[in-house]
């Protein structure tokens, strides 16, 4: 059993063995994750995708009782070199065959996900959806990165123009997705700060949190249902480093997942262009234990001066604050992050440390290059009482 996708004859062959598939499924089950698997679109016969190897893998998957949540076919098809090019029309045809193969294999309910184009608004995406792909997929996916990791500078990561570059991109994608695949979900199927593996000594440091947190806020506000992070491990943008220690974006993601629920509210502020503010209903299902009606606001200050921030929905109500700042004297390039002044570290037993807020009723003074979350437990927001 092997699944290997190469973009040119010179690329290496990386077969997926039975042991690899077993280990991967056991890992995600033990971690409580959902697995999405991407089949090799370069296995072809007479111009069409060849499902022979996929059928073998699916048969084994059913036999072992594994339950991947979704399946994809190919990756970044608009970047395939000429020798391996697959047209939009042909890929839509391949997806139809692919979905039929997976459905008939007896696997548990799953999502068909694609086409994972390499940018948010390429003509390839629109043509694929128009050619029938929009009827086949359950989730429309694209990839997004702000800039080239081999050329990015530290200054880029706090550049308002670079952050704002995401807005027209996500709006165009959502428009295409909704028009060509109505009632289907629209996801960022792969995303981080910079392509080409991230920016060395920047994409894995404190400063990368600004791009990540702003992207999460804008994605929710502009209508995306999911953002999948590249990557958990590996490259300069991994959430954990090569020694399996958390990078700053790991802690930011953990706090986000612990505090932020849905729906999202439009609380855009224009008084200070260096301040970004987003608000959601609080995640009441996390172990922290907030109640329905709570609101979580998350904020970031990419400017060099302390700013006063009026927190939405918090008038005369107690705020619980989770403020993040650089974890050491390296500042923006720190490999560590502080939560309310204390460096976040994994204990020796690798259990997660408690996330402890600071309580306050005062106007928030957000220091330069700080970011964080503010929960208003007694906001009693009607939209949040129904979840």
For residues 353-373, average pLDDT: 96
For residues 169-192, average pLDDT: 97
| Pair 373, 285: CB distance under 8 Å | no
- Looking at 208, 224, 259, the residue that finishes a domain is 259
pLDDT value of position 349: 81
Domain ranges, residue 368 = 275-385
Residue 5 lies in a domain: no
Q: What is the pTM of this model?
A: 0.94
Mark whether 234 and 288 lie in a shared domain.
no
pLDDT at 1 over 70: no
Mark whether 242 and 288 lie in a shared domain.
no
pLDDT at 307 over 50: yes
pLDDT value of position 387: 57
For residues 213-232, average pLDDT: 97
In the chain, the number of structural domains is: 2
Mark whether 229 and 316 lie in a shared domain.
no
- Looking at 259, 285, 314, the residue that finishes a domain is 259
Mark whether 244 and 199 lie in a shared domain.
yes
Mark whether 60 and 175 lie in a shared domain.
yes
Residue 225 lies in a domain: yes
116-157 tens-digit pLDDT = 999 998 899 999 999 999 999 999 999 999 999 999 999 999
- Looking at 259, 283, 313, the residue that finishes a domain is 259
Which listed residue (72, 76, 169, 383) is catalytic? 76
pLDDT value of position 370: 98
Is 130 known to be catalytic? Answer: no
pLDDT at 20 over 80: yes
Residue 7 lies in a domain: no
Is 190 known to be catalytic? Answer: yes
The token duo for 150 is 């081999």
Q: What percent of the chain has pLDDT over 70?
A: 96
pLDDT value of position 317: 85
pLDDT value of position 9: 44
Mark whether 232 and 311 lie in a shared domain.
no
Mark whether 331 and 291 lie in a shared domain.
yes
Mark whether 246 and 377 lie in a shared domain.
no
Which listed residue (88, 130, 190, 367) is catalytic? 190
| 72/41 Cα distance (integer angstroms) | 9
For residues 330-347, average pLDDT: 97
pLDDT value of position 122: 85
Mark whether 106 and 229 lie in a shared domain.
yes
For the chain, the average pLDDT equals 94
Residue 194 lies in a domain: yes
Mark whether 91 and 156 lie in a shared domain.
yes
- Contact residues for 303 (Cβ-Cβ < 8 A; gap 6+): 272, 274, 275, 368, 369
Mark whether 183 and 43 lie in a shared domain.
yes
| Pair 297, 313: CB distance under 8 Å | yes
Mark whether 62 and 140 lie in a shared domain.
yes
Query: For residue 160, what is the domain's CATH number?
Result: 3.20.20.80
pLDDT value of position 15: 87
Query: For residue 288, what is the domain's CATH number?
Result: 2.60.40
pLDDT value of position 158: 98
pLDDT value of position 11: 55
The token duo for 260 is 């932020």
For residues 73-102, average pLDDT: 96
Residue 12 lies in a domain: no
DSSP per-residue string spanning 334-381: -S-EEETTEE----TT-PPPP---EEE-SPEEE-TT-EEEEEETT---
């Amino acid at each position: 059993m092997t699944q290997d996708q190469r973009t040119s004859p010179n690329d290496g062959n990386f077969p997926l063995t039975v042991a690899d598939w077993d280990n991967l499924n056991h890992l995600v089950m033990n971690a409580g994750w959902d697995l999405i698997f991407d089949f090799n679109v370069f296995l072809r016969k007479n111009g069409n995708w060849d499902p022979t190897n996929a059928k073998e893998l699916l048969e084994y998957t059913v036999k072992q009782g594994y339950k991947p949540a979704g399946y994809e076919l190919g990756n970044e098809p608009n970047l395939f070199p000429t020798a391996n090019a697959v047209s939009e029309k042909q890929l839509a045809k391949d997806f139809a065959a692919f979905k039929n193969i997976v459905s008939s294999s007896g696997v548990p309910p799953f999502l068909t996900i694609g086409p994972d184009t390499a940018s948010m608004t390429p003509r390839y995406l629109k043509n694929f959806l128009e050619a029938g792909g929009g009827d086949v997929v359950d989730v429309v996916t694209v990839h997004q990165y702000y800039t080239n990791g081999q050329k990015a500078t530290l200054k880029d990561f706090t550049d308002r123009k670079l952050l704002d570059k995401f807005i027209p991109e996500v709006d165009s994608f959502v428009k295409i997705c909704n028009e060509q695949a109505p009632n289907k979900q629209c996801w960022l199927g792969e995303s981080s700060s910079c392509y080409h593996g991230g920016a060395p000594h920047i994409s894995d440091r404190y400063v990368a949190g600004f791009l990540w947190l702003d992207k999460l806020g804008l994605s929710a506000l502009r209508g995306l249902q999911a953002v999948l992070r590249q990557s958990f491990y590996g490259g300069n943008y991994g959430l954990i480093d090569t020694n399996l220690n958390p990078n700053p974006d790991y802690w930011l993601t953990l706090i986000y997942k612990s505090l932020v629920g849905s729906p999202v509210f439009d609380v855009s502020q224009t008084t200070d262009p260096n301040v970004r503010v987003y608000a959601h209903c609080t995640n009441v299902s996390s172990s922290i234990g907030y109640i329905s009606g709570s609101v979580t606001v998350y904020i970031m200050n990419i400017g060099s001066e302390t700013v006063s921030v009026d927190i939405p929905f918090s008038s005369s109500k107690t705020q619980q604050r989770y403020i993040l700042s650089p974890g050491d004297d390296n500042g923006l390039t720190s490999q560590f992050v502080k939560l309310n002044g204390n460096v976040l570290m994994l204990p020796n037993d690798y259990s997660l440390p408690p996330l402890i807020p600071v309580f306050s009723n005062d106007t928030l003074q957000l220091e330069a290059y700080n970011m964080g979350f503010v929960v208003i437990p007694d906001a009693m927001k009607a939209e949040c009482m129904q979840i």
